[in-house]
Amino acid sequence: MTRRTLTVATLVFLAHWPAAAGAPPQANTYVLSQAFCLPPQATAPGTCRGQSLPVGATLEIQLPGTPSTWKAVTVPPTLKAGATKKLASPGRIDGTREIYVFTFTATAAGEGTIVFQEAPAHLSKPGGTFGFPITVTAR
């Protein structure tokens, strides 16, 4: 419970962090993490809580890794995949040492699911995947 509270507190902090020069405005950046995929937020194992965002918004999904690795195996046509990076973050989630950061841009209205594959499956049991349902709305 303490780690989940810390994760939510971190997300709230990040949501209020000033946008870096050249970055999209805060109101257009959405940050999701594995917390959206675990009980009580998840409605079923591997199915993450859905998120809505407008066309033009930036979506960042952060997943803890190492020893596990993550890759986006399905990206809906409403999103354009951007940069992926790994950041050192020892001890943030038990048994992990880094955070994978995936960035997407909402390019068209519609619905879809971003599916991430974890190998080996550590957090995404059962099945080894997390599916983030995303609805992109017209402005």
Name the helix (H) or strand (E) containing 51: strand 51-54
CA atoms of 11 and 17, how far apart (whole Å): 10
Mean pLDDT of 101-123: 94
pLDDT of residue 81: 97
Strand order in the sheet with 79-88: 29-33, 58-65, 98-106, 79-88
Domain count, the chain: 1
Give the range among 32-36, 115-119, 128-132 with minimum mean pLDDT: 32-36
Output the pTM of the full model. 0.78
CATH number of the domain bearing residue 114? 2.60.40.2020
Is 107's pLDDT higher than 50? yes
| CA angle in degrees (0–180, nearest 5) for 29-92-16 | 30
pLDDT of residue 19: 43
Is 115's pLDDT higher than 50? yes
Determine the length of the chain.
139
Mean pLDDT estimate for the chain:
82
Domain holding 12, by residue range, is: 2-137
> Cβ contacts of residue 12 below 8 Å, gap of 6+?
none
Is 127's pLDDT higher than 60? yes
Q: Which residues of 32-42 are buried (b: 16+ CB within 10 A; e: fewer)?
A: bbbbbbbeeeb
Structure tokens at 15: 């949501």
Mean pLDDT of 94-116: 94
pLDDT digits (tens, 9 = 90+) for 54-94: 999 999 999 999 888 999 999 999 999 999 999 998 888 88
